[in-house]
């Protein structure tokens, strides 16, 4: 089913893509920090984020760059990581074969995993429908902007982080980016707070056992809190 206008297609694309912008920006921030911690200078990191625009390929290449691996090894590694985009191109190409090659190259460069998935959900076949290009633009342009904003922030943040922290800070940020969106209830928040306190108190435990203890206590706390809230709701049920 085609859209009534390009404006309607763009509006729908923005609505569908908006929930992913924070995650994309957070992932960009992690990669930005990782580039600096891997030894890239500020201009090199900025150049990489604007030219490469591929988080997985960037993270796969950074250890090789830090180890002064041959250029061809870095190139092949990044190419192998991004081979999925060959499939993406094969999926999208028939929809936009009528466009000049320069536009196809530009849109292909800016198209990421999320945009492809959302586009295929909306246009699962090759029927000529109005609004296809506007819909794609509404997905890829904000996606690109969210990534670049997050990445640039990460680059400048990474340049302020002590060098002795190394790539560990990027790993910590990555965990935070995954964890924070999952705190969707008070039970989850209680579990996170308790596990954080336990982890700090047990930081000096041997063999990192404090982390294991923090996870166990945090999970138990979240389960008990959730059960308590459920019982509270059930007790109020008959009165409602």
- The string of pLDDT tens digits covering residues 169-180 is 555 665 666 566
For residues 121 and 161, membership in a common domain is answered with yes
Q: Are 73 and 156 within one domain?
A: yes
- Token output for 47: 């150049």
Domain that holds residue 147: 6-171
Average per-residue pLDDT in the chain? 83
Identify whether 178 is part of a domain.
no
Residues 189 and 141 in one domain: no
Instruction: Give the predicted TM-score (pTM) of the model.
Output: 0.67
The answer to whether residue 176 is domain-embedded is no
Same domain, 106 and 162: yes
Q: For residue 1, is it within any domain?
A: no
Q: Considering only 9-13, 16-20, 79-83, 215-219, which range has the smallest mean pLDDT?
A: 79-83
Q: 207 and 162, same structural domain?
A: no
Residues 114 and 195 in one domain: no
Domain shared by 134 and 230, yes or no: no
* Residue 80 domain flag: yes
> Are residues 123 and 27 part of one domain?
yes
Domain count, the chain: 2
Between 239 and 108, where is the model more confident? Answer: 108
Which of 171, 192, 213 lies at the terminal end of a domain, its last residue?
Answer: 171
The per-residue DSSP string of the chain comes to: ---SSHHHHHHHHHHHHHHHHHHHHHHHHHHHHHHHHTT--HHHHHHHHHHT--HHHHHHHHHHHHTT--HHHHHHHHHHHTTHHHHHHHHHGGGSTTS-HHHHHHHHHH--HHHHHHHHHH--S----TTHHHHHHHHHHHHHHHHHHHHHHHHHHHTTS-GGGTTHHHHHHHHHHHHGGG--SHHHHHHHHHHHHHHHHTTT-GGGHHHHHHHHHHHHHHHHHHHHHHHHHHHHTTT-
- What digits encode the pLDDT tens for the residues 191-219? 889 998 999 999 888 877 888 888 899 88
Question: Do 85 and 48 have their domain in common?
Answer: yes
127 and 94 in one domain? yes
33 and 78 share a domain? yes
83 or 147: whose pLDDT is higher?
A: 147
Which percentage of the chain shows pLDDT scores above 90?
17
Residue 91 lies in a domain: yes
157 assigned to some structural domain: yes
């Amino acid at each position: 089913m085609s859209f009534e206008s390009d404006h309607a297609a763009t509006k729908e694309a923005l609505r569908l893509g908006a929930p992913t912008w924070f995650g994309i920006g957070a992932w960009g921030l992690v990669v930005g920090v990782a580039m600096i911690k891997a030894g890239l200078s500020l201009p090199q990191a900025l150049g990489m984020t604007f030219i490469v625009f591929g988080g997985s390929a960037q993270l796969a290449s950074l250890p090789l760059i830090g180890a002064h691996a041959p250029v061809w090894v870095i190139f092949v590694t990044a190419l192998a990581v991004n081979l999925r985009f060959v499939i993406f191109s094969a999926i999208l190409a028939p929809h936009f074969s009528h466009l000049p090659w320069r536009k196809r190259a530009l849109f292909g460069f800016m198209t990421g995993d999320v945009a492809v998935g959302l586009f295929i959900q909306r246009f699962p076949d090759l029927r000529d429908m109005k609004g296809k290009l506007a819909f794609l633009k509404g997905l890829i342009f904000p996606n690109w902007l969210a990534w670049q904003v997050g990445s640039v922030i990460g680059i400048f943040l990474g340049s302020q982080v002590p060098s002795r922290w190394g790539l560990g800070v990027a790993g910590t940020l990555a965990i935070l980016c995954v964890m924070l969106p999952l705190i969707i209830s008070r039970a989850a928040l209680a579990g996170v707070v308790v596990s954080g306190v336990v982890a700090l108190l047990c930081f000096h435990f041997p063999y990192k056992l404090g982390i294991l203890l923090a996870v166990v206590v945090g999970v138990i706390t979240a389960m008990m809190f959730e059960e308590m809230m459920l019982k509270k709701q059930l007790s109020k049920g008959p009165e409602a």
